[in-house]
Each structure stands twice: as C-alpha cells, then as structure tokens.
Amino acid sequence: MQRKELLKLAKECRIEIKEEETDDSYIGSTFAMIMEDGNIVRYIQQGCHASVSVEANKGAVYMANLVHTELPEDITERYINWWVKKSFVSKVFVTKDVKTILEKGIILDCSFPSAYIMIGVIGLRYLWEHKGIVENWDVFKEHVNHDAAIILSHMFVKVEQGGWERARCYNSGHCWWTNYWNRKEFTNAINHDLGGLESLPSLGEEPKYSPLIHIFSPERNVNWQSKGNLRHSLSFKEIKTTNIFENKIVKKVYEEENIKKWLQETYSLNYEEKKGKRNAP
C-alpha cells in the first residue's frame, strides 16, 4: 500500500485503539503498528512499550500511540509543543498539533531507527510516569537551552525542603536517559548530532531498540552497570533529614535561588565545544 493510504489507516487506528482501551491506567502505553501491507498490530493494556521490539513489528511503516498526561494544561502544552516540534527527537513525529495529540493520539514514522522512536514515546510517557522530569524541564529551560534542560532534568530531583538534589539513578527502560551517558553524547543531543539516524536500520527493518544511546554513539557498547562521565556543579548546601526508614541522612541540595548558577555550571562541565560544527545557542 502507498504511504499516504497507510497514514490514513494510522489516523483511523488512533480512534479505534482508544475505544478498545477500556482501562484508563493503560492509556499512555497503548499503541498500534501499521504494517506495509495494511495490516494493523494492536497492543492494548500494555504496561510499557517493550513490545515495540518484537519481531512481529518488522515491516511497520507507522506507529499510532495514545498520549496521557497528569500534569497541568499549561506545562503539558509547553512540553509537548517543544518535544514534537523542536527537540532532538522531533523528526520522528508525524502529528504536531498538541490538541490532536492529547485528544486522538500521535503518529510516529517507523522509517527511523527503533531507538529513536522509543526515545520519542518514552518522552511522552514522562507526562504521567515521570512528571518530575517534565516539571524540572519547565524550570530549567529558563536557564539553559531546552535540549540541555531535559537532560539535566534527569540528573536532579526536587526535594520537599526546597531546591534539588542529584538523582540517584535513572537506569530504567522507562527513561531514555541513563547514568552511562558521557559528555560526547550530552553534546550530540544538544547539537541534534544524531549519527544513529543514518547508520542504524529503521524500525521496520529491525524493531529491537536497545541500547537507546546508539542514536548518539552508534558504536558504543554499554550495559546497565556502565558509568558515564557526566559531572555536576559543586554549588550545594547540606540538609540533615531522615529517609523512609527514619534513618538520619544528609542531602546535598542545590538551592532554588542558585538554580541558574548550578545549571549553567553543570552544562559547561559537560558540553564540548566543536570547532567547525554547529553548537547549541
């Protein structure tokens, strides 16, 4: 079938899978693959998007994905608008209108590598699964560029006493950023320098998406125990508190009044200037 016809099927499919998904708790994980022969493979009541990687998805041309949010309307709109139109992953999204995305779902282009597509859909899951990352981004983008802000948002967690502390670990299949990132990959993401888009097969050719980092470093071998070299600003203060087990602990907190300073310091510690290539603003 022609891509134009398949795109029409994808648009219709969004409505169908929304009607089929009877449990609202799965809305943000419900999707379907539109195959080159016009067949549609539906994934209803999924706990995550791991099924994207199955062999049955070979030959996929489009992906129709439902979108759910548990954040306020203004933050939701700002984030989606940037994520699908201007972020380093924006090329994968066919649907660009925020209202349509929230009401009907979003369509992604499966001619891109599976890892790139997964980063895109995982980023939309943040609207309900990792709300703190999006809330951080909405603050951090006032002090560093938007792409740097979303990466740094994974590296810090808001604390009740005010300010942020370093995130312990985000090595999870439900996050596209992990602790094994290095400064080169940080820089490539900010510059939209995505070598994997040309060197990796499309999802339709190979649905397996792990590791996601191959979009930025196609040849790098990593595992969950790997460690990157990203660094954090040292401008913090210590707060004495207790953990969930009532044990006394000391948190190193980056205060809200110093947020601009430590964001910019952390950015400068990790962003590598590239001679002769476009650098982030």
Residue 279's pLDDT is 55
Domain ranges of the chain: 3-270
CA-based nearest residue to 114, from 49, 180, 67: 49
Render pLDDT for 267-278 as a digit per residue (tens, 0 to 9): 999 998 765 455
For residue 83, pLDDT beyond 70: yes
Residue 5's pLDDT is 97
Which residue type occupies 83?
Answer: W
Positive or negative CA dihedral for 119, 121, 123, 125?
A: negative
229: left (phi > 0), else alpha (psi -120 to 50), else beta? alpha
Structure tokens at 86: 């201007």
Bridge partners (DSSP) of residue 41 are: 33
Comparing 97 with 223, the larger pLDDT belongs to: 97
What's the pTM? 0.91
Segment among 120-124, 163-167, 217-221 with least mean pLDDT: 163-167
Render pLDDT for 211-241 as a digit per residue (tens, 0 to 9): 899 999 998 888 777 788 888 887 777 777 7
Bridge partners (DSSP) of residue 166 are: 156
Q: What is the 3-state secondary structure (H, E, C) of the chain?
A: CCHHHHHHHHHHHHHHHHHHCCCHHHHHHCEEEEECCCCEEEECCCCCCHHHHCHHHCCEEEEEECCCCCCCHHHHHHHHHHHHHCCCCHHHECCCCHHHHHHHCEEEECCCCHHHHHHHHHHHHCCCCCHHHHHHHHHHCCCCCHHHHHHHHHHEEECCCCCEEECCCCCCCCCCCCCCCCHHHHHHHHHCCCCHHHHCCCCCCCCCCCCHHHHCCCCCCCCCCCCCCCCCCCCCEEEEEECCCCCEEEEEEECHHHHHHHHHHHHHHHCCCCCCCCCCC
**pLDDT-above-90 percentage for the chain:** 63
Q: Give Cα 258 to chain centroid, integer Å.
A: 26
Render pLDDT for 128-160 as a digit per residue (tens, 0 to 9): 999 999 999 999 999 999 999 999 999 888 887
